[in-house]
Amino acid sequence: MKPSGPRRLSVVIPVYGGEKTIARVVERVLRDLRTLRPEVVLVNDASPDGSHTVCLALWKRGRGRVKYLRLAKNSGEHNAVLAGLRACTGDRVLILDDDDQNEPADVHRMLARLEAEDLDVVFGHYAKKRHALWRNLGSAFNDLVANWMLGKPRDLYLCSFKVMNRFLVDELIKYEGPFPYIDGLILRSTRRVASVAVAHHARAEGKSSYTLTKLLRLWLAMFTNFSIVPLRVATVAGWLLAALAFLSGSLMAVMRLRDAWEVPGWTSLFVAVSFFSGVQLISLGLLGEYLGRLFLTANRHPQAAVRDHWE
């Protein structure tokens, strides 16, 4: 049975390098979503700038409407989001970046579709992204890989700007591993998903904290935490390369016996050994990545440590 009455919206905002933008984001949320009685949960992911001072001031001004968590060390955006999800109390939850590139007013349409179609999550879909070219290309690659490895619907756009119901939030926070990937957790929990076209503004202050290294770490989390496809690919590649090596060796032996071709010597041998050695090392590295993550999970490596919590 669906609960009746007004629903409260929680807005989880991971903060990193947001000293110049977070105040404006919170102000717009409290103004544009006031009819939804928003609860704002700020999670400072050990930002090196003055974000702590700004967030603390926002909490003081918005007591009863703003919560503030400060993590003990930088743990990554997805870990910070999970910390915020555990602290929020709303029936519906919005995840919002701190860069002021999203339009909080778009949430009304996202929530309307969530309710009308009884969905668990609605992602924002940018008609035109205002990110750097390299990041847009990275997002496109991430989308293709998610289609293949996570079973993501091809017409669904994964985005950090999304709204979820309480059921899905409760499922996400059950995950205790140290390498979360929010969209992977969502897609393994539900298929009641959709997206709504939303605006995406150019960044007015600062620059994105996402680097190529962080994107690679995110892809690695998707590869090794939510799918065994890479291991299967390594197995298939091993068999194919072994078959290729056998056929090539057989062909060279036959041609040598017939004096049809003089084997050049060390060059072909060097190339072959280097190639197969590289494949073996990649496979071993992939297997080691899985085992290392299992080891850290078994040793209860924390997702994030909350140093301070202001309610």
Nearest to 87 by CA among 98, 101, 73, 71: 71
- Give the CATH number of domain 9-214+302-310: 3.90.550.10
Top pLDDT among 159 and 228 is at 159
Lowest-pLDDT choice from 39-43, 111-115, 122-126, 135-139: 135-139
Q: H/E element holding 125?
A: strand 121-126
Cα gap 135→125, rounded to integer Å: 16
Cα gap 290→284, rounded to integer Å: 10
* Residue pLDDT, tens place only, 274-292: 677 777 777 777 777 778 7
The three-state DSSP-derived secondary structure of 112-163 is HHHHHCCCCEEEEEECCCCCCHHHHHHHHHHHHHHHHHCCCCCCCCCCCCEE
Beta-carbon contacts of 54 under 8 Å, excluding residues fewer than 6 positions away, are: 18, 19, 22, 23
Nearest to 303 by CA among 221, 219, 209: 221
Query: In which residue are the tokens 């903060």 written?
Result: 15
Cα gap 112→107, rounded to integer Å: 8
CB atoms within 10 A of CB 193: 21
Beta-carbon contacts of 309 under 8 Å, excluding residues fewer than 6 positions away, are: 67, 68, 69, 70, 87
pLDDT at 2 (0 to 100): 44
* Residue pLDDT, tens place only, 242-275: 777 777 767 767 766 666 555 566 556 656 776 7
* Residue pLDDT, tens place only, 97-114: 999 999 999 999 999 999
Mean pLDDT of the chain: 83
**pLDDT, average across residues 203-226:** 67
* Residue pLDDT, tens place only, 149-167: 667 777 787 888 999 999 9
Q: H/E element holding 109?
A: helix 107-116
Q: Are 107 and 163 in contact (CB under 8 A)?
A: yes
Q: Does the pLDDT value for residue 123 go beyond 70? A: yes
DSSP assignment, residue 50?
A: T
